[in-house]
Amino acid sequence: MSADLRYWIGFNLVKGIGPTKVRALLEHFGDLRSAWTAAPDELRAAGLDRRSLESLLAARTGMDLDLALKRVERAGVQVLTWESEGYPRNLLNIAQPPPVLYVRGTLTPADEWAMAMVGTRRASAYGREVARELARQLAASHVTVVSGLARGIDSVSHQAALDAGGRTIAVLGSGLDYIYPPEHKMLAEAIANSGALVSDYALGTPPENVNFPPRNRIISGLAKGVVVVEAPEGSGALITAEFAAEQGRDVFAVPGSILQRSCRGTNKLIQQGAKPVLNATDVLEELNMTLVTEYTQASLAFPADETERQLMSFLSAEPVHVDELRAKTGLPIAQVSSTLALMELKGLVRQVSGMNYVAAREARAEYRVE
């Protein structure tokens, strides 16, 4: 991890310093290392009010940034900031995105194609079945399912995405070392192995009630839109829908019985203009996500790194032996062989006889190699 990360973590731990103040500090000082060590008068000039300044000065005195960074490293947690290449693009594009994200698992570029699914913790049999089917269909269409790991609709959506062999992201209202509810620890492990656990709360932060409404803003921010499956009036899921609307994201709602209390919130959303959802196709077509599969397949048809690009430049319709490729590229034979094996799986090359390779017809057309 970069040494500068300790200062991002440090400011993340200071009460009263959120995205607006972090942005102001960066604009004034150029980097957070300089801001952390700045004199009080300079910090005031950068826009810190009295309370924020007092909190920062107290934190600087009592906090060991090296220890805070080591704690994150020992936990196997990745720290992403606004300056990180891997910071999710969807989230970065909202107003005042969280300056720091803690991640366990892996976020990928494919997660830009994401939909949030939220709803009541006290889901009915109908709500659970609908959530299960929608999440399964979305995941099967290579759409990442984002939710909040809560009981009810959230956990059903995560599990259905995993069962479909898809990706899912859980956004926590606590530090990543506090899995809440505790009975979802196994589910959280599965999500970390096939997607990611995400939080803007530092390690050691317990799951307090005040944490969850801000957490919902990240759920909607990570996605192209939000599907509210089942929610009574006043539900936290409706807060997520409000954040989505503010962020310019599409809001979808599953219609339910007008006699059922748990459906009043979703029915009201539809009445207010949310798009009704009867199946996953309604979501995919509305957001043009029917192209996700084609996009995913197309991405496999391009070399992923410089080694693949080098090998492609020496391949055509005429067979080339692996030893000749090694000599032309100057790469170790083990690297050439392993890369060719991966390229064959991706459909970029074919092994025609012995250790001879040709470029696949589609790849030749793309690269005009004849």
pLDDT band with cut points at 50, 70 and 90 for residue 356:
confident
Domain presence at residue 96:
no
pLDDT band with cut points at 50, 70 and 90 for residue 368:
very low
Q: SS3 of 3, please?
A: coil
- As given in the structure block, the two tokens for residue 184 are 């979802």
Are 216 and 362 found together in one domain? Answer: no
For range 127-133, the mean pLDDT: 96
Size (the chain), residues? 370
Are 226 and 257 found together in one domain? Answer: yes
pLDDT band with cut points at 50, 70 and 90 for residue 225:
very high
Distance between CA 275 and CA 263 in Å, rounded? 15
Phi-psi region of 255 (alpha: psi -120 to 50; beta: other; left: phi over 0): beta
Are 274 and 325 found together in one domain? Answer: no
pLDDT of residue 348: 80
CATH number (domain holding residue 350) = 1.10.10.10
Say what the pTM is: 0.78
Task: Please tell me which of 157-166, 275-284, 354-363 the model is most confident about, judged by mean pLDDT.
Answer: 157-166
Q: Which domain holds residue 243?
A: 104-291
Are 112 and 261 found together in one domain? Answer: yes
pLDDT of 147 strictly over 60: yes
User: Which residues does 226 contact at the CB level (< 8 Å), separation at least 6?
Assistant: 115, 116, 117, 118, 219, 220, 240, 241, 244, 249, 250, 251, 252
With residue 81 as reference, give the H or E element that holds it.
strand 78-81
pLDDT of residue 297: 53
Domain presence at residue 192:
yes
Q: What is the pLDDT of residues 14-60, one digit of tens each?
A: 999 999 999 999 999 999 999 999 999 999 999 999 999 999 999 99
Distance between CA 57 and CA 39 in Å, rounded? 10
DSSP β-ladder status, 168-171 and 144-147: parallel
pLDDT band with cut points at 50, 70 and 90 for residue 2:
low
Are 202 and 281 found together in one domain? Answer: yes
Are 128 and 256 found together in one domain? Answer: yes
For range 65-77, the mean pLDDT: 93
Number of domains composing the chain: 3
303 neighbors 312 (Cβ within 8 angstroms): yes
Mark which of 250, 267, 291 sits at the end of a domain: 291
- What residue spans of 164-278 are helical by DSSP H? 185-194, 212-221, 236-246, 264-271
Distance between CA 10 and CA 14 in Å, rounded? 7
pLDDT band with cut points at 50, 70 and 90 for residue 342:
confident
Are 125 and 156 found together in one domain? Answer: yes
